[in-house]
Structure 1
C-alpha cells in the first residue's frame, strides 16, 4: 500500500509542477503583444498540448483509483477467513493446538480441530509483558463465521 501512496503523491506532484509551468507559459503568451500569426499558432498548440496533458493526468488518476480499489478488494478477500486471538500465553509451544483448545473449551465449539486451521502464527515482535495476538486463517469461511458469531 505504501507504493500506491507513493504513486499517488508522485502523480499529484507531477500535476502541480505541470500546472505551475503551464501557468507561467500562458502568462508569457498573454503578455506578448502584438499577437502575430506564428504566436497565435504557438498559443493554439500550447492549448491543445495542455488539454492533452490534463486528459492524460485524469486517465492516470482514474487508473490509480482502479488499482487502489482492486488492491483493497484483494486484501479484503485475503482476510475473509482470518481471525485474531489474543490472550494466548507466550509460553505455549504449539499455537495451533492452543487456539483449538480455546475454541473448544471457551467457545464450546467441539467439532474444530487443527486440520481446519490453514495458518496460525503470532504477530509482531516479542514484547516484555504482553502476549502477542495470534492470527488464525481457517480452511472455510463458514467455520470462521461460526466462531466469530459466538465470540
Structure 2
C-alpha cells in the first residue's frame, strides 16, 4: 500500500467518525425534545424489520462500518501478536548469534595461540633433529676414529681353543707373504673373533685385530692384493652405519670407473676426479 492510498483511507475513516459524531448529537437532541420511552431488553434486542437504518454518506450502514473496523482491528491484533512472537524469536536468535560470535572469537584466539605453539614446537623439533643428527654423526665419527687402527680378517678357519693373535700372524706370513721377522715385530693391542660362536654355522667368524702402530696396520692392509681369487679378505673396520653407506657408494664408484672417471672411497665419502660426490637421494648423510 502506497502513501496516497493510506491518506485516502484516513480521510474516509475521518468522514465516518465525523458522521457518527453528527448522528450521536442529533439523537441526543431528539431524546431531549421527546418523552422518554421505556424499552424492555427484548425490545432493545429486536427491531422491526422495517425500521429505518442509519446509513453513512457513502451508502454503508453504521453497523457494517463498525464491523469492518472491528475486523480490521482484529486483523491488526493478530498481526501484532505475530510480530511480537517474531520479535521474541529474533531477540533469542540474536542473543544466540552473539553468544556464538563470542565462542567463535574465543576459539579463534585459542586457535591462534595453538598455531603459535605448534609453530614453536615445529621449530624446536627441527632444531632438535638437526642437533640429533650432528650428535649422531659425531658419535659415528668417534667410533670410526677408534677403529682406524683395526683390520678385519675374514675367511680364516676357526678352531677350538685357538690363539687369535697367533692365528692372525700365521695368516699374514702365509697368505699376505710378509717376511717372518716383520710379522714377529707387529704389535697388537687386541685380537679376537667377532660375535658369539654359533653351532651349525660353517662360515668362520671374522677376526678383528687392533694394531699398536698405524703404519704396521697400513703395511698389512697394503698386502691385501695377495688375496685376490681366494676366499679370504682384509678390510678396515667401520661402524655399522658407515658400512651401510659404503654399500651404497661401491656400485656408484664402479659405474664412474666404467665411464672413465677416477673414483675413490674414503670412509663414507666418494671422490670423483678429486671432487666430493654429493647427491641428496643417494648420499643424504652429507646434507
- Relative to the length of structure 2, the TM-score reads 0.37
- Could you tell me which residue of structure 1 aligns to residue 215 of structure 2? 142
Measure how far apart 1:45 and its partner are: 1.3
The answer to whether the aligner puts 1:87 opposite 2:160 as a matched pair is no
- Could you tell me which residue of structure 1 aligns to residue 192 of structure 2? 121
Contact 1:88 1:98 in 2 (8 A): no
Q: What is the number of equivalent residue pairs in this alignment? A: 119
Give the distance between the partners of 2:186 and 2:177, measured in 1 at CA: 18
Instruction: Give structure 1 regions of 4+ aligned residues with deviation exceeding 4 angstroms.
Output: none
- Mark the runs of 5 or more structure 2 residues left unpaired by the alignment: 1-99, 225-287
Matches within 5 A, 1:1-151: 34=101, 36-85=104-153, 86-91=155-160, 93-110=162-179, 111-113=182-184, 116-124=187-195, 125-128=197-200, 129-151=202-224
- Mark the runs of 5 or more structure 1 residues left unpaired by the alignment: 1-32
Measure how far apart 1:90 and its partner are: 1.0
- Aligned Cα RMSD in Å? 2.3
- Relative to the length of structure 1, the TM-score reads 0.66
Distance 1:140 1:127, change over 3 A: farther
Measure how far apart 1:37 and its partner are: 4.2
Of the two structures, which has the highest relative contact order with CA contacts closer than 8 Å and spacing of 6 or more?
1
- Could you tell me which residue of structure 1 aligns to residue 227 of structure 2? none
